[in-house]
Amino acid sequence: MKKLVLLLFGLFFAVAMLSCTNGSDLSVDLDEFIGAPTQLSVDGTVLSWTAVEEARGYVIYVDDEEVDDTKDTSFDFSSMLADRMIFRVQTKAPRGMQDSALSASVAYVANKDEEIADTKVALAAAGMSVSDEFAEELVNKGMLASEVTDMADGFNDFLDAIDSASDIQEIYEAFDNFFGEVENLEAVVSAFVVSELPQIIQEQIDELESNILYWEQSKAYNPYNRDYYNSLIDQAQTELAALEDLLDEVNDNPDSIVLAITSTMEYFISVEEMISEDLVDSLMNISEVEEASDLNAAELFTVKEEVVNILRETMPSQEDMDLIFQVYDLLMLVSGTSSTVSSEVENLSGKLAVQAMYTIEAFINFLDALDEDYFNDLVGYLNGDYTDPMAMAEIAIMTIEYFDSFKSDNQTLLDTINEVFTDEEKEILYNDYLATLGDFTSDSGITSISFQSILVLEDSFGSAFDEMLDMFVERDGELLRQLVIMNSYSTYFYSEEYYNDALDEEYDTYREMTFNEDLTRIQFLEELAYVLQAGYKELSAEDYSTFLDVYLNIVVLQLTNGYGYYLDTLPDTSVFEEAITTLIDNSAEQQFELLTGFGDFVLEEDVFQLMTDFTTSMYVKNDSEYENYASFVIAIQLYDDFMTNANRDLVDEIEAAVILILMMDDIQDFIDLTDSDVTDMEDQINDLLDYLDDNASTINAMDWEDLSASDFTAIDDFQQDVTDIFIEISTIE
């Protein structure tokens, strides 16, 4: 049951994250933040900092209270002297920019040298083996020796509490008590970044350099493994360059790293502080439920409401979110990638921050949309006459229905996320992503997709997705229900057991099980047809052309890369690109019309009911020879009914487009055909289509449920004629 609870919560979050894309209650500004002052220092009673380009002035804060502003880059605080003063400075921005976040802090501490000495003693007494620089940085940030002792005692108490905790409640209390006593988090983070982090990074650099040297030597001794060692060396050198850049960043600009880490940690602490003991008790009760009957819908709803409230109340500010995204390039470096995107997209970190905030808001709105009825129904499904697979299917269907409603109510917000970046900026980001992808993967075709194609697909398939989602809901989620049933058929041949877990049905024979499996598959395909056809109706021939272009280029690249295992050189993909363009230009519109027409035909002619009737009838008849004849009759009947004169014209135009690219010299060289071969192939295909047009009506007139011996003979003759034509096509050299 605990797994079931985890699945439920996982389902909420997975579906909610689909919402990531002005309907917003947030107050944000896409103007770039001006940089915060850096390198704050205290000399006597004068605070100073490095000038910020374009600054309109600076605001000085003492112990988080605004005390003055100035246009200078220093501030004399002798008139307000105290034993300890923690300073931060904010840059005032010119028009078109936003005032900066508060800078990293620096402190004035009376008797500073004595305080540093006492701090070193306090750290040693706490058993913390750190450098003298660590102690100095703590005091530079305003932490006193007495506070270091309290922090160390609190940390040791925390470790003891965790070690002795017997349940989640006691673990929560340990964290709650520890975070409640945390003072001057920035001091601890800064001490680590300034004094310990460079050494950690340097050790990693030394290890990589040692490995590279070892692999270079191994390559000399083992020339047959040269490629293997070269790949290891290349990867290590990429990581080495990234770590060296990271070390430079830590040494030259620790402030941004300190602020980003501190802001992130403070956010999680703020979330933790809002978690009440009652909420923890409720979560414990839910996690310990062994039977579905013990779940309480009201309690689930209350927990959800508290989570929504916590997320809303602790929404990071734009300044805090921006601090986190200012290290975007740094994270790219750590991953081994050098990125120049931030210099090409104006205010990248700020826009990423705003987009993230909108995303969090959309996530919260989805959770908020899960009302009491949702949880009552959820518990009802778990306690009802459902197997576990079907209960989860019903819950998933219900959740998708809520998501559909949520999406309609929040479409403006979802559009707003997508509009944070302009199309031009998205193209820069997209191209950078492709460059990054190309550094780490072989070309699977993704890197050949143009951004303009992405925009077309995003627009057209976004609308198609909405219609498909609406159709899924309109048909009561039967698609998912049948999918679960279809995947629940199981067989134990040794014990001759055949059953369906979702339906809780057991079958006497393998044949009986496969018969039911076939019926389920038909129902699934029917539901899939309704959903897909709803999407097709939103697409245009132009949309289909774009999709076909993207798809075929990916397929071609994958195929040609596959041929690389057998060929000395890969085929020139430009040959296929020209062929694809020719094919699309001459037949995409006809293909789209034929496909959508076939979808309408299948649904309007109730083909799936015909398939169900046929499957049921053949199961009762239990005559494999008759079934082969009957299935052929149905196939020809469907072909004859669908292949109207108009559809035959479409097929002819598509065939002509294919023949045209087969006539291209480069294509013929690749597939080893001549003009004469292609002409012969065209003639044979036309012969086949003409034969079907002229003779299919004979088969169409038959009653597949009551075929006679003479019908069998006619079918044999028909099949032989078709086979002969196929043989002629396949033997063209």
What percent of the chain clears pLDDT 70, i.e. is strictly above it? 90
pLDDT band at 21 (very low <50, low <70, confident <90, very high): very low
Q: 3-class SS at 636?
A: helix
The pLDDT of residue 346 is: 85
Mean pLDDT of 590-611: 95
Task: Give the C-alpha separation, 218 to 210, whole Å.
Answer: 12
pLDDT band at 7 (very low <50, low <70, confident <90, very high): very low
Residue 716's CB is within 10 A of a number of other CB atoms, namely 12
The DSSP code for 337 is: -
Q: What is the pLDDT of residues 27-38, one digit of tens each?
A: 888 888 899 999
Give the strand pairing for 32-33 and 97-98.
parallel
Which of 355, 409, 392, 602 is closest to 485 using CA atoms? 392
Instruction: Retrieve residue 669's tokens.
Output: 């060289």
Task: Give the C-alpha separation, 596 to 589, whole Å.
Answer: 11
Q: At residue 649, what are phi and psi to the nearest 5 degrees?
A: -60, -40
DSSP 579-618: HHHHHHHHHHHHHHHHHHHHHHHHHHTTHHHHHHHHHHHH
Task: Give the C-alpha separation, 635 to 642, whole Å.
Answer: 11
Instruction: Retrieve residue 547's tokens.
Output: 């999709």
Task: Give the C-alpha separation, 14 to 381, whole Å.
Answer: 20
Which residues make Cβ contacts (< 8 Å) with residue 261, sequence separation at least 6?
Answer: 189, 193
What percent of the chain clears pLDDT 90, i.e. is strictly above it? 54
The answer to whether the beta carbons of residues 191 and 138 sit under 8 Å apart is yes
Which residue do the tokens 């790219």 mark?
332
The DSSP code for 196 is: I
Which residue do the tokens 């704050």 mark?
40
Domains of the chain (ranges; CATH) run 2-27+253-440 (no CATH), 32-109 (2.60.40.10)
Q: What is the pLDDT of residues 198-242, one digit of tens each?
A: 998 899 999 999 999 999 999 888 888 888 999 899 888 988 888
pLDDT band at 728 (very low <50, low <70, confident <90, very high): confident
Farthest CA pair distance, the chain: 115
Task: Give the C-alpha separation, 615 to 598, whole Å.
Answer: 22
Instruction: Retrieve residue 679's tokens.
Output: 């002409």
pTM here is 0.80
Mean pLDDT of 591-598: 94
Which of 167, 113, 173, 169 is closest to 145 using CA atoms? 113
Which of 187, 174, 114, 108 is closest to 147 using CA atoms? 187
Of 235 and 654, the structure prediction assigns the larger pLDDT to: 654
Task: Give the C-alpha separation, 685 to 728, whole Å.
Answer: 10
